[in-house]
Amino acid sequence: MDLVVVHSISLPPGRYVGDAVERLFTNRLDWNAHPYFGTIRGIRVSAHFLIRREGALVQFVSCDERAWHAGPSSWQGRPDCNDFSIGVEFEGLEGAAFDEPQYVALAALVEALGRRYPIGAVAGHQHVAPGRKGDPGNAFDWPGLRQRLVRSTLEFAA
């Protein structure tokens, strides 16, 4: 694993309480619990991590295993980012601002991952699947994330 891909998610969109995201990533979402869930019925996705609004970190998949977060994607000419990336979901809406504790948690996570894996870059879903995905969006604070990371050798997509 040498790439971290940042995503954004909230279920239903804009709702930041409850366990719907966790249920989605563990294949336990009740598709009838909310009208929006019917529009994504049957979707099977996973991510390695979720960073909640207050900065709490939840892990779903071992970083040594493949998660299904990037879909059809490529990074620097390498197809299928799921094969070589770690997926981190930010609780939030695409294009909307995220909370400071989330960036603090992400920086700490990237630093920790860099001690275990040859992490060389951090990109958004929008960068590995342009035209298909737009998350985390233009409100994501890439410069702020760069400043929080001690490892200045990381490449950033934005």
- Whether 25 is covered by a domain: the verdict is no
- Whether 62 is covered by a domain: the verdict is yes
* Cα-to-chain-centroid distance, residue 61: 12
What total number of domains does the chain contain?
1
- Whether 18 is covered by a domain: the verdict is no
- Whether 21 is covered by a domain: the verdict is no
Question: Among 15-19, 42-46, 125-129, 150-154, whose mean pLDDT is lowest?
Answer: 150-154
- Whether 126 is covered by a domain: the verdict is yes
Q: How confident is the model at residue 154 (pLDDT cuts 50, 70, 90)?
A: confident
The residue annotated as part of the active site, out of 89, 91, 100, 155, is 89
Q: What is the pLDDT of residues 117-140, one digit of tens each?
A: 999 999 999 999 999 999 999 999
Q: Can you give the residue range of the structural domain that contains 87? A: 3-10+47-156
Nearest in space to 40 (alpha carbons), one of 50, 48, 55, 30: 30
Question: Quick one: average pLDDT of 41-66?
Answer: 96
Confidence at residue 152, expressed as pLDDT on a 0 to 100 scale = 61
Cα gap 3→134, rounded to integer Å = 18
CATH of the domain at 138: 3.40.80.10
Question: Among 33-42, 63-72, 141-150, whose mean pLDDT is lowest?
Answer: 141-150
Confidence at residue 156, expressed as pLDDT on a 0 to 100 scale = 78
Beta bridge partners of 79: 74
Residue pair 129/72 in contact (Cβ under 8 Å)? The answer is yes
- Whether 106 is covered by a domain: the verdict is yes
Which H helix or E strand runs over 47?
Answer: none
Q: How confident is the model at residue 17 (pLDDT cuts 50, 70, 90)?
A: confident
Q: What is the mean pLDDT of the chain?
A: 95
**pLDDT > 70? residue 151:** no
Would you call 89 a catalytic residue per the annotation? Answer: yes
Q: How confident is the model at residue 75 (pLDDT cuts 50, 70, 90)?
A: very high
- Whether 116 is covered by a domain: the verdict is yes
Q: What is the pLDDT of residues 76-108, one digit of tens each?
A: 999 999 999 999 999 999 989 999 999 999 999
Write the Ramachandran bin of 80: left for phi over 0, alpha for psi from -120 to 50, otherwise beta.
left
- Whether 112 is covered by a domain: the verdict is yes
